[in-house]
A and B are shown apart, each in its own frame.
Chain A
């Protein structure tokens, strides 16, 4: 019984860590621009294909992983330059369309230049190892996921509190125009937000693909959906809300995984979304309200 419980906790925390990072990457941009970056899932795809293309190179895995993350960061910044900056000040609809277009463009580039079929990504040996704890067998990958997430979240929180750029990011999320009138450059803040978004997507990609072992062009769809739902649960405009929403969604998902009988498991998402609907009826703003709203720029 205890064994099942420990297993459950580790599973929920592992999934929650991934969900939380994904949600955070979406909210960091949404908080500042009040716009959802629909090309967010493709950042995960880009990191995945970078790993695939580096497959077979003599580099150590950690270097390949770092390069994949850097590619995700660069693609994040590119999203801003290509899809957001040219139309940002004109209309919300235009940005929605350009971010969808950029997402489609990246996916189709992967289809055309690589393959519509799934491609293997290199993974470190450590990922397939397990540790035994009492009589519970836990994959090392899960522990790494949780550990990396905790370190990354702590580091991110520290940067937001201690550095001027971090304080400026938080300020811009509540009163963007006022932050600009104090001299905070809009473009710097927005690019930074996209870069951080890419960093989170890149890290998520390593562990997300670590579960599957391969990458396909449509790999980004599920993470985007998950991140979106987690942020809706947690509160679209709150960073702690995104983290909370990620873990909450994972807890719901994992509970159904354990509780539902085999023949209902295929409908797990239907159960999950029913709960999400109830949460939204109860708290339409999400669980944690964001900072007092300023105007969209």
Chain B
């Protein structure tokens, strides 16, 4: 479904991603692991079109999306949940969700159907509907950002560190939700610092180190391999 080949992304003179290859099949949950600065977020952002690669190619459902702008990529069916969350703080929860459905803005019937679905997945967002998103707690904001991404009806969801900075019970809830989404057949590429949870859920995993793929394989095999911690800590 998604094929990233030989990806290289630079910030000025610094190569954050040197050579990354990824292959994701329809319906898979793939984890992308690695130490801080390994290039995980950069990889996700360049798939989403927000960063331009200096080399390599990104194919989605057989189509080359390497050079597309972010607004074009989301129309192809890829939604992004960034690490920085980026809720629109001064917009209400409902307005955030409405913007999530921007590419389907003519379809009001579909919007209310999607909104009902979102409200059954995240009842708290219905309670908070007319509150500014900036007044939400960290966990609620994370749910809002995932919900907002789902409003674009994606076939591939890019999740960047959804558990970052959340209390353990909330982390549990978020992962429960990701599991639910996976069961609906949504393909997910998950970047996560909490490697053990990520590996327990994922079908396969890639481990990045200093901008290159260091290890790849079934999640269970990677979890069992002894050098995981070493790679993960970047040593």
Contacts and interface: CB of A to CB of B under 8 A. Distances in A.
B140 interface: no
B103 interface: yes
Contact of A171 (B49, B73, B80, B91): B91
B218 interface: no
A20 interface: no
A96 B202 CA distance: 49
Interface of B: 48-50, 69-71, 73-75, 79-80, 82, 86, 88-91, 95-96, 98-100, 102-103, 105, 134, 148, 152
A181 interface: yes
Interface in A122-166: 164
Interface residues of A, number: 20
Q: Which of A177, A182, A184 is most buried by chain B, counting CB atoms within 10 A of its CB?
A: A182
Given A164-B105, A175-B86, A182 B91 contact: no
B98 A182 contact: no
Nearest to A180: B70
A294 B152 contact: no
A195 to B, nearest CB: 19
A244 to B, nearest CB: 16
A294 B86 contact: yes
Nearest to A179: B99
Given A183-B102, A291-B90, A178 B82 contact: yes
Contacts of B73: 181
27 contacts: A164-B98, A164-B99, A167-B95, A167-B99, A168-B99, A170-B90, A171-B91, A171-B95, A174-B90, A174-B91, A177-B86, A180-B50, A181-B48, A181-B50, A181-B70, A181-B71, A181-B74, A181-B79, A181-B80, A181-B82, A183-B71, A183-B75, A183-B102, A184-B71, A186-B71, A291-B90, A292-B90
Given A164-B102, A167-B95, A183-B71, A177 B90 contact: no
A186 B72 CA distance: 11
Contacts of A171: 88, 91, 95-96, 99
A186 B50 CA distance: 12
Contacts of A170: 88, 90-91, 95
A273 to B, nearest CB: 31
Given A175-B88, A291-B90, A167 B74 contact: no
A177 B44 CA distance: 14
